[in-house]
C-alpha cells in the first residue's frame, strides 16, 4: 500500500522542483537527506564536483522487459528493493522504462537518501525507434514522449544520465540503418535539455554486445559536430565468464581499442552466467587496468526474470524477495573492490572520433557517413513550450504516428530547421518553408537550374 505521508511529501517535492533548483528543494524539505551532488561529464570521465565518479551499479527491471512496468512509480516496489540496493552498496541503478505520466518523487527521494543515482532509458515498447523500420518511427509523437520523460526526471539531482536508446542496433545487419534516427534522437534530447534550461544531464546510447559493429557504433555516436555527439557511450558486455581475467576475457583489448576515445564510457550491462559467478569483473573494472578509459558499469541484473542473471527472486504480488547466494557474492565483490582513488588516469580533453566509413557492415544508406534527419517539424515547438503531459506506457504508441522528419539537419547549427522541402506525407500538415541557405553552396546559377527543374 502506498504511504499517504510519503505520497504527500513526494507531491511537494514535485511541485517545488518543477519551478526551483534542487538546492531550493533541499532547503524546503530540511527533514530529508540532502540532495546528492549532480554528476557531470568532462574529458573522458564523470564527476561529482572535483571527485571522479564511477558507476558501481545494477540493472533494475523487475518483471522483465516484456511486462513494461515502471518500478519507480510504485512506492511499495521501490521501497522493497532500494533497501537491498543500499545493502549491496551500489551507487547507481539503471531502469529500462518509466511511465512519464506518473510522479516519481518518492522513489527518487528514497534512492537519493540511499546515495543512489539513476541511469534512465527514455524509451518503452510503445514509444521507441523501430529498428526494422526506423524512418516513420522518428516522429513528433515519439519525441513528445521522450521529452516528457526528461521533464519528469531532470528535476532530481540523482538522475545521472539518460539513454537515448538500448540495443536498437543489434546483430541483425540491417538494424545498422536505425543508427541515424537514434543519433538524431540523442541530438534532440541534448538540445531539449539545453532549450528548457535544465542542467547538462549527460545523454548517450547503450550498445548491444556485438563485436562486428561495436567500434563503428562507438565512433558514430561520437563523430560530427558538437551538437550531434553524445555526452558518453555505453555498451553491454557478456564476455567475462568466470573463472576469467582481464586478458582472458578480452577486456584488455576493449581498453586498448577505446584508449583516446574522448568521452566517458561505461558498461551498461555486464555479467555472464555460463559458469558459477564470482563477480571478479570488478577486480578489473575498479582498478587502474581500466580506470583511464572506463567509468565502471552495471551488473545485469537485480531480479531473476526467466534467466539466471538475477541475484534475487521476486514473488509476484507480495513483498517477498529471496536473496540468492549471488546477492552476497556481489555484495562482497563490491566491498572488496572499491572505486579507484585519485583521478584514475583520466584524459581531461574531450575528443571526437571520425565518422566510420561505409562498408558491408556499416551502411547508413541515404544518410551516408554523417548526415542526420532534421527534427520533425511538429516537435520543434517543444523546445520553447515544453513537452506537456507524457502519454505513459499505455497510450496509443508512436511508431506509426505523427509527423516525420522532412529534411537533413544542418550540423553544428544547433538549430531545429529542416534544410530541404518535402511533402510531409500522411500528416496533413503543410510542408516547411524552403531554406535558401544552400545558395551559398550551389550558387545562383545552380539555384535557378534547381528551381527550373522543380518547376518543370
Ligand X SMILES: *[C@@H]1O[C@H](CO)[C@@H](O)[C@H](O)[C@H]1NC(C)=O
User: What is the rounded distance in angstroms from the CA atom of residue 252 to the CA atom of residue 290?
Assistant: 8
Instruction: Dump the DSSP string for 105-167.
Output: HHHHHHHHHTT-EEEEE--BTTBS--TTSHHHHSBHHHHHHHHHHHHHHHT-TTEEEEEEEES
- Count the residues of the shown chain that bind ligand X, applying the rule CB under 6 A: 7
Least distance (Å) between residue 239 CB and ligand X: 8
| Interacting residues of 175 by C-beta distance below 8 A, sequence separation 6+ | 131, 132, 168, 169
- The yes or no reply on residue 386 touching ligand X (CB under 6 A) is no
- Exposed/middle/buried for residue 453 (C-beta within 10 Å: 0-12, 13-18, 19+): exposed
- The yes or no reply on residue 414 touching ligand X (CB under 6 A) is no
Q: Which of 52, 104, 229, 254 contacts ligand X by CB under 6 A?
A: 254
Question: Is the distance from CB of 187 to CB of 215 less than 8 angstroms?
Answer: no
- The yes or no reply on residue 236 touching ligand X (CB under 6 A) is no
Question: Is the distance from CB of 334 to CB of 281 less than 8 angstroms?
Answer: no
Q: Which of 84, 126, 187, 214 contacts ligand X by CB under 6 A?
A: 214
- The yes or no reply on residue 250 touching ligand X (CB under 6 A) is yes
> Which span sits near ligand X by CB under 6 A: 146-154, 252-260, 378-386, 434-442?
252-260
Instruction: Considering the complex, state which of residue 155 and residue 214 has its C-beta at the smaller distance from ligand X.
Output: 214
Instruction: Considering the complex, state which of residue 149 and residue 216 has its C-beta at the smaller distance from ligand X.
Output: 216
Q: What is the dihedral of CA 68, 388, 143, 43, to 10 degrees?
A: -90
Least distance (Å) between residue 360 CB and ligand X: 14
- The yes or no reply on residue 442 touching ligand X (CB under 6 A) is no
Instruction: Considering the complex, state which of residue 349 and residue 357 has its C-beta at the smaller distance from ligand X.
Output: 357
Question: Is the distance from CB of 352 to CB of 222 less than 8 angstroms?
Answer: yes
Omega within 30 of 0 (cis) for the link into 243: yes
The site string for ligand X over 173-212 (x = CB under 6 A, - otherwise) reads: --------------------------------------x-
Catalytic residue numbers, as ranges: 167, 269
Least distance (Å) between residue 307 CB and ligand X: 24
Q: In the complex, which residues of this chain contact ligand X (CB under 6 A)?
A: 211, 214-215, 250, 253-254, 257
Amino acid at each position: 500500500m502506498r504511504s499517504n505521508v510519503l505520497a504527500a511529501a513526494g507531491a511537494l517535492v514535485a511541485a517545488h522542483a518543477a519551478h526551483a533548483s534542487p538546492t531550493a528543494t533541499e532547503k524546503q524539505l530540511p527533514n530529508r537527506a540532502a540532495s546528492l551532488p549532480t554528476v557531470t561529464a568532462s574529458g573522458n570521465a564523470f564527476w561529482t564536483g572535483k571527485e571522479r565518479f564511477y558507476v558501481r551499479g545494477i540493472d533494475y527491471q523487475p518483471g522483465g522487459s516484456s511486462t513494461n512496468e515502471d518500478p519507480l512509480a510504485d512506492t511499495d516496489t521501490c521501497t522493497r528493493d532500494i533497501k537491498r540496493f543500499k545493502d549491496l552498496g551500489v551507487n547507481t541503478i539503471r531502469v529500462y522504462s518509466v511511465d512519464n505520466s506518473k510522479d516519481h518523487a518518492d522513489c527518487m527521494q528514497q534512492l537519493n537518501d540511499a546515495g543512489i543515482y539513476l541511469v534512465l532509458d527514455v524509451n518503452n515498447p510503445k514509444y521507441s525507434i523501430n529498428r526494422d523500420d526506423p524512418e516513420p518511427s522518428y516522429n513528433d509523437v515519439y519525441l513528445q514522449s521522450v521529452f516528457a520523460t526528461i521533464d519528469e526526471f531532470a528535476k532530481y539531482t540523482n538522475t545521472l544520465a539518460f539513454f537515448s536508446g538500448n540495443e536498437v542496433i543489434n546483430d541483425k545487419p540491417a538494424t545498422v540503418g536505425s543508427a541515424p534516427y537514434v543519433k538524431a534522437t540523442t541530438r534532440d534530447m541534448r538540445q531539449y535539455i539545453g532549450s528548457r534550461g535544465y542542467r547538462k544531464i549527460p545523454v548517450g546510447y547503450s550498445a548491444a554486445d556485438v563485436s562486428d559493429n561495436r567500434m563503428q557504433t562507438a565512433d558514430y555516436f561520437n563523430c560530427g559536430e558538437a551538437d550531434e555527439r553524445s555526452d558518453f557511450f555505453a555498451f553491454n558486455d557478456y564476455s567475462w565468464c568466470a573463472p576469467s581475467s582481464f586478458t582472458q576475457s578480452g577486456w584488455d583489448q576493449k581498453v586498448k581499442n577505446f584508449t583516446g576515445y574522448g568521452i566517458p564510457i561505461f558498461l551498461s550491462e555486464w555479467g555472464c552466467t555460463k559458469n558459477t559467478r564470482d563477480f571478479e569483473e570488478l577486480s578489473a573494472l575498479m582498478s587502474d587496468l581500466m580506470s583511464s578509459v572506463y567509468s565502471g558499469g552495471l551488473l545485469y541484473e537485480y531480479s531473476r526474470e526467466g534467466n539466471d542473471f538475477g541475484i534475487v527472486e521476486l514473488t509476484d504480488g507480495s513483498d517477498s524477495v529471496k536473496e540468492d547466494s549471488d546477492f552476497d557474492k556481489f555484495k562482497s565483490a563490491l566491498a572488496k573492490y572499491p572505486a579507484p582513488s585519485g583521478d584514475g588516469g583520466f584524459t581531461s580533453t574531450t575528443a571526437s572520433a571520425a565518422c566510420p566509413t561505409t562498408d558491408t557492415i556499416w551502411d547508413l544508406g541515404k544518410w551516408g557517413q554523417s548526415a542526420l534527419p532534421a527534427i520533425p517539424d511538429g516537435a520543434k515547438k517543444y523546445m520553447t513550450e515544453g513537452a506537456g503531459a507524457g502519454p505513459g506506457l499505455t497510450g496509443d504508441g508512436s511508431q506509426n504516428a505523427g509527423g516525420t522528419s522532412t529534411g537533413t539537419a544542418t550540423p553544428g547549427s544547433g538549430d531545429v530547421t529542416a534544410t530541404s522541402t518535402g511533402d510531409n506525407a500522411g500528416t496533413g500538415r503543410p510542408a516547411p518553408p524552403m531554406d535558401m541557405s544552400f545558395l551559398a553552396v550551389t550558387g545562383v546559377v545552380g539555384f535557378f537550374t534547381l528551381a527550373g527543374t522543380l518547376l518543370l
